[in-house]
Amino acid sequence: MIGNQLIDQYARIITDEKQHSVIDGASSGTEKRYKVLHHDYQDPDALRKLAASIKDHTLHHLDEYLAKTEQALVSRGAHVHFAATGDDAKQTILEILRSHGVTRLTKSKSMAAEEIHLNPFLIENGIECLESDLGEFIVQLDNDEPSHIVKPIIHKNRREIAGTFLREGIAKDYNDDPETITRRARVYLREKYFQAEAGITGANFVCADSGRMLLVTNEGNSRFGMAPVPVHIALVGIEKVIPREKDLAVFLNLLGRSATGQQLTVYTEFINGPKSANQPDGPEHMHVVFLDNGRTDVLASNCREILRCIRCGACQNVCPVYRQASGHAYRSTYGGPVGAVLSPLLFGDRFPELADLPKASSLCGACNEVCPVDIPIPDLLLRLRDKAKREHVHSPAAIPMSPFATLATSPSLWRTAMTMSKAMNHLPIQVAPIKPLQDWLGQRTLPESHGGDFRKWYKDRKNKRSAG
């Protein structure tokens, strides 16, 4: 389970094996994304900016588009619910399930469901809730939590997974061949699909003009979760609404390429509502639960751009901090750069606890460069750092950084320090008087300092000009 350590503390204790798994998985995703995006589009940035403008327009008129979406969904035979909080959403879903006599369900991958901890709530209330996404299924078996938005088990390797299957009785013998693991999971889950009485999914997009919902997966598990069951429940964040169906052309071209480096995800499903009289399968009842859970507060903040996010995970793949620490270090559903912004905002009452996340960044800007909807994540991180300062949120880094701030903002002190810095070339680490500084120096090889040379050169040059 996710611990409560600060992100830097978690990064220190993460095992080398887990770290390598995260780095390798993230790197491969980045390479694939770059190749397919830049091969297919002469100017990918133009597409990113178009996607950003569509999202910004929708967020600016979100109340209107939500009302329009509700009307369109109802006209298609769906029941629409609005949940102000995570608790409201869980209670609404539980009431729907009880009204239909549901005791067993399958659940497709949903970040919103992870966000409100839906699974344990339903299980506590007597409803068997089984994840059907392969990665989510594995972390559920391990009583673990996802560590990546797109790749939930990026922190695991095939040996661990094979061991889990053997322990849980899904496999009769140990076999870490990926195809064998997948086949065994498929056999086990296939039976569960037909035993289930309901299916729960998220939604990648909901079109306000038509009421159609869109789901993208690479495994088809959401399709299996909806086809045989009489009840389908979709839990959807309010920011997932887009104005028109034709806008999907922009987002679908960006989502697959940014998430997994594919031109298009394997299964792209348009959900039109409950099945009609002439359809052989599909749910007879469809419920859509729109989730706020702090999103309107984010919308009212100076970091509203984070609501453009389409959950592709590209920012996680390129982030040097995420690669070293993994998603669990972020202590919430959302890891990486997007989590460092979204989590402190979304879970407002936990802001003091999560205020270290925006500081766990070098502000290199790689996350902004790869974001398919052009979210200025480094700017948002700085805004949250400022918020923490204004609200006097304690930071463990404040004590060692305070003297540095004094030094860096005083020209005379800075000049003196740079002139004297040559002495550090001859001082052992143990001489550093502050333990955090010793720890910092102990993990870095610093170049030799040549402080004062530039100033001497500049002074000599100035004197020569005056003399001439």
Give the confidence band of 338 by pLDDT, cuts at 50, 70, 90.
Answer: very high
CA angle 395, 400, 405 (to 5 degrees): 95
Q: Which of 296-300, 409-413, 461-465 has the highest mean pLDDT?
A: 296-300
pLDDT value at residue 423:
63
Q: How many CB atoms lie within 10 A of CB 179?
A: 8
Give the burial string for 59-84 (b: 16+ CB within 10 Å, else e).
Answer: beebeebbebbbebbeebebebbebe
* Alpha carbon separation from 457 to 410, 437, 453, 454, 464 (Å, rounded): 22, 31, 6, 5, 11
* 386: β partners: none
**267 pLDDT above the threshold of 60:** yes
Give the confidence band of 1 by pLDDT, cuts at 50, 70, 90.
Answer: very low
Helix (H, G, I), strand (E, B) or coil at 10: helix
Contacts of 28 (CB under 8 A, 6+ apart): none
Output the six-digit token pair for 405. 């701030």
- Give 47-78 pLDDT, tens digit per residue: 999 999 999 999 999 999 999 999 999 999 99
pLDDT value at residue 396:
61
Of residues 436 and 380, the one with the higher pLDDT is 380
pLDDT value at residue 397:
57
Q: CB–CB of 204/149 below 8 Å?
A: no
Q: Considering only 324-328, 336-340, 358-362, 413-417, which range has the smallest mean pLDDT?
A: 413-417
Tell me the domains of the chain and their CATH numbers. Answer: 7-296 (3.40.50.10420), 418-467 (no CATH)
Contacts of 118 (CB under 8 A, 6+ apart): 89, 90, 93, 107, 110, 129, 200, 235
Are β-strands 267-271 and 213-217 bridged in parallel, bridged antiparallel, or unpaired? antiparallel
* Alpha carbon separation from 342 to 278, 294, 333, 348, 384 (Å, rounded): 44, 10, 10, 10, 10
Q: CB–CB of 294/86 below 8 Å?
A: no
- Can you tell me the distance from the alpha carbon of 29 to that of 179, in angstroms, rounded to the nearest whole number? 20
Q: Please classify residue 301 by burial: count the beta carbons closer than 10 Å to its beta carbon, then call 0-12 exposed, 13-18 middle and 19+ buried.
A: middle
* Alpha carbon separation from 189 to 2, 46, 75, 271, 360 (Å, rounded): 26, 42, 33, 22, 39
End-to-end CA separation in angstroms for the chain: 72
Q: CB–CB of 201/286 below 8 Å?
A: no
Helix (H, G, I), strand (E, B) or coil at 337: helix
* Alpha carbon separation from 194 to 286, 413, 427 (Å, rounded): 18, 73, 70
Q: CB–CB of 25/154 below 8 Å?
A: yes
